[in-house]
Structure 1
Amino acid sequence: MQLIATIMVVLVAIEHLLITWLEMFNADSDLAAKSFNMPREALKDPVVQTLFKNQGLYNGFLAVGLLYSLFVMPAVAWVGATLFFLACILVAAVYGSVTASRSIIVVQGLPALIAFILVYLV
């Protein structure tokens, strides 16, 4: 069970690293326009770029936190730290689904919830 939980947490971390990449380094791309359901011209606005880079940084911190909790923290502490970072992602997904797009709860929240349950059961 621990292996499956670890794999799921790594997948959530990879998802958030990809979000980081998209928001920080590719925010004005066609992929970003499609992903965020926004016109590409709006994504080129410097204010929007700054906001996306900020969001991307937070997603990166969540991903690194998950990976740190899995591979760097002492074995006795990994479960609690991993659950904390997954809970942060879940809260962000709920908030994002209410304020930005309902699909966030499925795209980001569901994988984090599955990972949370699997880690909790370890």
Structure 2
Amino acid sequence: MTLLAQIFTGLTALLHVGFLALEMVLWTKPQGRRIFRMTQEQAEATRVLAANQGLYNGFLAAGLGWSLLASPPAFAVQLQLFFLVCVVIAAIYGAWSVSARILLVQGGPAMLALLFTVLAF
């Protein structure tokens, strides 16, 4: 179970690095507009908000990465649980406020990581 927890935690961290890139770098670019189904005008009007959101996703990625490298193991698990719960809460709110798809894309890997982390105890 520990290996699966680490794998899904790492995947969740990588996804959040990707969200950071989408929201901070690609938001107004064709790729970002296509993914978020926005016009150029919508993207420009929300660019600063998206960059702020991307920064928060970067903090989640950093925390998840930290949890994979931290020592002692008991502290690492505490970090892992904290940051995974943060991701799941963000995914639930995103699903409620924006799109149910967020629960699957953002929350799915985090929920699996959380499950495997708890089962590894």
Normalized against structure 1, the TM-score is what? Answer: 0.92
Match of 2:87 among 86, 89, 92: 89
In percent, how many aligned pairs have the same letter? Answer: 40
Aligned-partner Cα distance in 2 for 1:40–1:12: 29
> Structure 1 stretches of 5 or more lacking a match?
none
Stretches (4+) displaced over 3 A: none
Is 1:106 equivalent to 2:104 in the alignment?
A: yes
Aligned-partner Cα distance in 2 for 1:84–1:65: 9
Aligned-partner Cα distance in 2 for 1:31–1:111: 23
Q: How does 1:39-118 map to 2 (within 5 A)?
A: 39-45=39-45, 48-118=46-116
Give 1:36's aligned residue: 36
Q: Give the structure, 1 or 2, with the largest relative contact order (CA under 8 Å, sep 6 or more).
A: 2
Give 2:4's aligned residue: 4
Aligned-residue offset at 1:23? 0.5
- Counting matched residue pairs gives 120
Aligned-partner Cα distance in 2 for 1:98–1:17: 23
> Structure 2 stretches of 5 or more lacking a match?
none
- 8 Å contact kept, 1:79–1:120: no
Aligned-residue offset at 1:36? 1.5
Normalized against structure 2, the TM-score is what? Answer: 0.93
